[in-house]
Amino acid sequence: MEKKIFLLADDDMDDRGMFCEALEIIDNNIVCHAVSDGRDALHALNSLNTKPLLIFLDINMPVMNGWQCLEKIKADDRYNDIPVIIISTSSHQREMDIARNMGALCYFTKPLHFDELTDVLRIIAGNIGPELPSALKYIESGVSKYVHTFPRDNY
């Protein structure tokens, strides 16, 4: 079976570990490329043989933060079609508005518990493709208080 490539940029090593562990539990065909900042995420995009199906970006990272990385991804014709989910410990509306305006698919506040993270990632990983926006909307409507979607015609 073909591997599903996900890219995660998060400066917190424990969060990266939990995130990748959750994805491995969900589907052993998922390969989680985890990097510690936006610059490394862009390097990973340029060096991967296969484009990731999904990119998760933390906001607050050293070297290049999530906003700067998202801006570069959306400006690059090679990668601007890859759905990007912003992840953060912050649940401020201001950050959600910035994410929406910059072209992110949704905003995901990091859950407090591993099981909650796994539940959300299971739905996301199981709905990659055109059905992903509606799956995210489903998560937002009751499965998790951590996901905030943005209405759009496409991602």
Contacts of 124 (CB under 8 A, 6+ apart): 54, 85, 132, 135, 136, 139
* Predicted model pTM: 0.89
Contact 44, 31 (CB under 8 A): no
Q: Please check the confidence at residue 152 and state whether its pLDDT lies above 60.
A: no
Helix (H, G, I), strand (E, B) or coil at 39: helix
Domains (range + CATH), the chain? 4-149 (3.40.50.2300)
Q: Say what the pLDDT of residue 154 is.
A: 40
Q: Which of 17, 21, 18 is nearest to 30 (CA)?
A: 21
Strand blocks (E) in 10-68:
30-35, 54-58
Q: Say what the pLDDT of residue 150 is.
A: 54
- What one-character DSSP code corresponds to residue 11? S
pLDDT per residue as tens digits for the range 47-79: 999 999 999 999 999 999 999 999 999 999 999
Angle CA(66)–CA(27)–CA(70) in degrees, nearest 5?
15
Contact 108, 130 (CB under 8 A): no
pLDDT per residue as tens digits for the range 100-143: 999 999 888 888 889 989 988 998 998 898 888 888 777 777 65
